Structure 1
Amino acid sequence: MPRRTPSPAESTDLLSVDTDHLRPLAERMRPRTLDEMVGQRRLLASGSALRKGIESGHVHSMILWGPPGCGKTTLALLLAQYANAEFQAISAVLCGLPQVREVLAEAAQRFTSGRRTVLFVDEVHRFNKVQQDAFLPHIERGTIIFVGATTENPSFELNSALLSRCRVHVMEAVSADDIAISLQRALLEERGLGDRELQISDNLVHLVASAADGDVRRGLTFLEIAADLAGEGGTITESTLEQVLADRTRRFDKGGEKFYDQVSALHKCVRSSNPDAALYWLTRMFDGGADPSYLARRLTRMAVEDIGLADPRALQMAIDAWETFDRLGSPEGELALAQLTIYLATTAKSNAAYAAFNTARDDVREYGTQEVPLHIRNAPTRLMKQLGYGKGYQYDHDVEGGIALGQTGFPDAMGERIYYQPVGRGLEIKLKEKLDALRSAREAARRDDE
């Protein structure tokens, strides 16, 4: 059965227990009041709806959506404390439907005796639809105050029935300045590292806070490791932190919403001709462990969609950069993709071919299966010729100027259409001049025929 997590009020009693020093620093320093929480100024500002609800004890079921270490578990604990409710936590990673039903049955029994339960479900997006549906009647009856925590976009990961019964609160990554406040508190308070009499400069505290990358728990873990290296009464130096922070990584999601947000940022910075920003996002994804082959494919798509015929060289450069990466691998091949990114962002842009293709596809769907006009059908047999296949076709190379202006290439039911409209940038300037002249000549030839 899932273990019940102590409430903040109970956790203060644990400070006197001999085993308290075995708990991680991040757990010992977990905020015990709303005022002790760092970050989330918008969500928990004085007078905000959520803060008023928590302080009055009138809390509602909710989804807390935010990155790791931003305070989701802590906020759920404080909800239970202020509401004088039982706090129970389960993890969607570890629990199945039988355990969920057992916890809900306990909460129902507790409810009949007049005590509410704050049920905290960590990683709630890992539950499937059936598991999520199990909470619905208990939320409706008020048996539980449901608090789901997720790092994924609830719109994509949670079913609509659960979302309709919960309010979604967006929690943000904690700033380095706010994490520094938490670290300073840990250095001073007895429940933290206050009894060790450690020395560390403010600059180095901010270095740890920055390395935490928005995650308070991570920052406190870094500080605890540094404190162990420095020893009782020691000084945490720059060389100490070099050891602690040497292998840190930035937050990155290789398959979720955050990943696609960064891909979107890369694409849009290329489109807006901002090579510096585009290179930043490419490097961020390299740093986070994104598959370079996937990035090569996306960059090739940009060469086709956003550069197009304004600079046809871009597509060949994209294929060459992709092939270079396949031959060299990482990290050497990443330079080829970086070079490609800079070129794509710098060169002339046109989505005219992309737009033309989409418009032609729309016409195919709208007009259905149209017959090929007789004059441009193939006529390899005598019967086909007798039926008029190829009749009236003008061989372009035999006419003056090399283009037969009077014949159409579209089905009769459609008439002439214009899909491709070159822009006045790059090579398409020349293409536009040529096509404008040809289209005017064809229109004049059609009028003469009439």
Structure 2
Amino acid sequence: MNEPLAERLRPKTLNDYVSQTHLVGPQGTLTLHIKHGLIPSMLFWGPPGTGKTTLANIIATESGRPFYTLSAINSGVKDIRDVIDKAKQSGGLFTTKNPILFIDEIHRFSKSQQDSLLQAVEKGWITLIGATTENPSFEVIPALLSRCQVYVLESFSRTDLETLLKRAIEKDEYISKKRITLKETSALLKLSGGDARKLLNIFELIVNSEISNHVSITNELVLQKVQNNTVHYDKTGEQHYDIISAFIKSIRGSDPNGAVYWLARMIEGGEDVKFIARRLLISASEDIGNANPTALVIANNTFQAVSTIGFPESRIILSQCATYLACSPKSNAAYAAIGKAQQLVRETGNLSVPLELRNAPTKLMKELGYGDNYKYAHNYENSFANQEFLPKEVSGTTLYEPGNNMREDAHRNFLKQRWKDKYGY
């Protein structure tokens, strides 16, 4: 019995599939796709153990399509091209049964690897199904993302997980030979974290560790058997997002103690140092900004340093940066300003650039008045010339409002001296 329980219980049809009823229920999106034989390229986004790989296999089986699978961890552009060549030879666009290419952890593919999929997807040589635990909006290139439907898979509910346990007890060829009583399930469900594969692995471990054919599952037994001495942190699951959120909010709230605690939780859980450093970079600009511009410099240097050094020494650098950011004055003025500006652009559309601000590289452009009346600031006292830099339709709109801190108070005074009452500083 080398095959784990989770693999032995892997469903083969939609009828056997547990959870994700919004996708595979009687009127679920994927159910209807399979029924009508129209399978689009798609991305499954969800935590580990939510059935992404299983669902891809079922779609291929029930739609009668050839099925190829690659893992982004150990596959390169050559592997992708080999599969695409096989798919083209099998008919591709000229048959309703074009092959399905399933790529696990597609977010780990580089831009060039993702680029190599574009033509095959666009031409219909393959139907792509990608699985990712990361937000595809950030991890999948826009050109590929636009060619795929994105479906969100949710963590298994308590009812779903208990259904799997009962199925294992009743139907698994090995587990069913024992007399198993589920007296308590809270510990099992808590340790699984909504991950069906983890649940079944823990359950099998407990059952196999009991010599007797009669096994009574209690919370005490589960905790006794599962010697979990390491800090529980699933760097690909929901807790990954919860802890990084607590980390950033501690920095934003100026609490270095909270920041260091959540940092330690991530470090002990084996989080990617670059991921942590990227979040520090964002916080340095979003939450501190011009209240202390040095914060962004330190965060950027931190990213460069940890990218070179790695663990365990990077923990010191990350701690220095996190505590510095937490103890820094805060301002989201720059963050708010770009948000206001983008909203203004959405509301007003593509307003014309004032003629005096336009570039005039050709004779015709100069004759049309491009660049006329532009005042070169350095030719004026204090390197300032009072002129309009916004389209006339939105002239005088205040987008950047300095925060209430020492540095941005200086910004406010500077702007008031220059612009008087124009922007209300």
Which residue number in structure 2 is paired with residue 134 of structure 1? 120
- Residue correspondences, number: 359
Q: Would you say the 8 A contact 2:102–2:129 is kept in 1?
A: yes
The TM-score, its normalising length taken from structure 1, stands at: 0.58
Per the TM alignment, residue 412 of structure 1 is displaced from its structure 2 partner at its CA by 4.3
* Alignment gaps of 5+ in structure 1: 1-20, 375-407, 445-450
Which residue number in structure 1 is paired with residue 225 of structure 2? 241
Q: Would you say the 8 A contact 2:256–2:323 is kept in 1?
A: no
Which residue number in structure 2 is paired with residue 439 of structure 1? 417
Which residue number in structure 2 is paired with residue 289 of structure 1? 270
2:119 partner letter: D
| Greater C-alpha Rg | 1
Per the TM alignment, residue 29 of structure 1 is displaced from its structure 2 partner at its CA by 0.6
CA distance in 2, matches of 1:270, 1:71: 35
Of 121, 126, 143, the residue aligned with 1:160 is 143
Per the TM alignment, residue 185 of structure 1 is displaced from its structure 2 partner at its CA by 2.2
1:50 partner letter: L
Which residue number in structure 1 is paired with residue 208 of structure 2? 228
Write the deviation string for residues 293-328 of structure 1: whole angstroms up to 9, x where unpaired.
874685477456534576x69959x79xx7xx99x9
Of 227, 234, 242, the residue aligned with 1:251 is 234
CA distance in 2, matches of 1:249, 1:365: 57
1:241 partner letter: K
CA distance in 1, matches of 2:286, 2:259: 16
Q: Structure 1 pair 280/409, CA: closer, same or farther in 2 (3 Å)?
A: same
Which residue number in structure 2 is paired with residue 52 of structure 1? 32
Q: Structure 1 pair 158/191, CA: closer, same or farther in 2 (3 Å)?
A: farther
CA distance in 2, matches of 1:65, 1:303: 32
Which residue number in structure 1 is paired with residue 130 of structure 2? 149
Structure 1 vs Structure 2: percent identity of aligned residues?
A: 24
1:202 partner letter: E
2:69 aligned with 1:90: yes
Q: Structure 1 pair 365/128, CA: closer, same or farther in 2 (3 Å)?
A: same
CA distance in 1, matches of 2:266, 2:142: 30
Which residue number in structure 2 is paired with residue 370 of structure 1? 376
2:9 partner letter: M
The TM-score, its normalising length taken from structure 2, stands at: 0.61
2:217 aligned with 1:211: no
2:153 aligned with 1:171: yes
Per the TM alignment, residue 47 of structure 1 is displaced from its structure 2 partner at its CA by 2.4
Which residue number in structure 1 is paired with residue 179 of structure 2? 197
In the TM superposition, 1:356-395 aligns within 5 A as: 370=376, 372-373=378-379
Q: Structure 1 pair 35/351, CA: closer, same or farther in 2 (3 Å)?
A: same
Q: Structure 1 pair 282/38, CA: closer, same or farther in 2 (3 Å)?
A: farther
Root mean square deviation of aligned Cα:
5.4
CA distance in 1, matches of 2:86, 2:12: 29
Q: Structure 1 pair 81/239, CA: closer, same or farther in 2 (3 Å)?
A: same
Which residue number in structure 1 is paired with residue 362 of structure 2? none
2:390 aligned with 1:410: no
CA distance in 1, matches of 2:386, 2:59: 68
Write the deviation string for residues 134-158 of structure 1: whole angstroms up to 9, x where unpaired.
354445xxxx6x2512215555536
CA distance in 1, matches of 2:17, 2:26: 13
CA distance in 1, matches of 2:278, 2:39: 45
Per the TM alignment, residue 201 of structure 1 is displaced from its structure 2 partner at its CA by 3.9
